[in-house]
Amino acid sequence: MPGSSEVSFATSNEHKFSEAALVLGRIGVTLSRLPSKGEEVQSDNPSEIAAIAAERTFARAERPVIVEDTALFVKSLGGFPGTYAAYVYRTLGLELVLKLVPQAGRQAEFVSAVAYCDGPGRAKVFTGRLAGTIATAQRGANGFGYDPIFVPSGDSRTLGEMTLDEKCSISHRGKAVAAFGEWYLSARH
């Protein structure tokens, strides 16, 4: 029943949790947090990473869980950093990423994969995408990760210059979480 539904989001990232809680809260799905989704498999495909992580997290937590994996694909860099976005953010940082992106090849896409699991072999994946460009310099103090250098198509601001609400209404994660939420409610959990 809407309003009485609860699911746990396993993530080490408090920003991801806040965004998902905002989107799901609006449709009456209450989100609690588990501190980590544990060790991830390596893959170029965020849906595969999320599905396996959801299965593993369910096996450990023994309650309905979601996990989320995000990839950032820069077209002119052959999709780099892709699913290694967290590692590249930690090791190179945004300034070096900006130097790697060619002036004339700034097209990029965020992909978010949300996986829900409530039993062995039952992971279900929902994806959301956000097309845009990599900015020429960091702008904005909001958000996290690559937000200060990502300009969504149709806007001139970076995600770092948007409010949480504005970001979630257009973002890869907002779309994937909303798709999960709609399915979750329609499946009458």
Close Cβ partners of 110 (under 8 Å, ≥ 6 residues apart)? 70, 71, 72, 73, 129, 130, 132, 146, 150, 171, 172
Pairing of strands 107-117, 150-152: unpaired
- For ligand ITT, what does the binding mask look like between residues 145 and 164, x meaning CB under 6 A? xxx-----------x-----
Show the tokens assigned to 151.
Answer: 């300009």
Task: Kindly indicate which of the ranges 20-28, 54-62, 116-124, 141-149 contains the residues binding ligand ITT, using the contact rule CB under 6 A.
Answer: 141-149
User: In the bound complex, what is the minimum distance in angstroms from residue 103's beta carbon to ligand ITT?
Assistant: 22
Using alpha carbons, select from 14, 3, 26 the residue that is nearest to residue 177. 26
- For ligand ITT, what does the binding mask look like between residues 5 and 44, x meaning CB under 6 A? ------xxx--x-------------------xx-------
Peptide bond connecting 64 to the previous residue in cis, omega within 30 degrees of 0: no
How many positions of this chain bind ligand ITT (CB under 6 A)? 20
Q: What is the dihedral of CA 39, 143, 101, 11, to 10 degrees?
A: 10
- Told to judge if 44 belongs to the known catalytic residues of this protein, a careful annotator would answer no
Q: Is residue 128 part of the contact set for ligand ITT (CB under 6 A)?
A: no
Catalytic residue among 44, 69, 118, 165: 69
User: In the bound complex, what is the minimum distance in angstroms from residue 128's beta carbon to ligand ITT?
Assistant: 10
Catalytic residues: 69
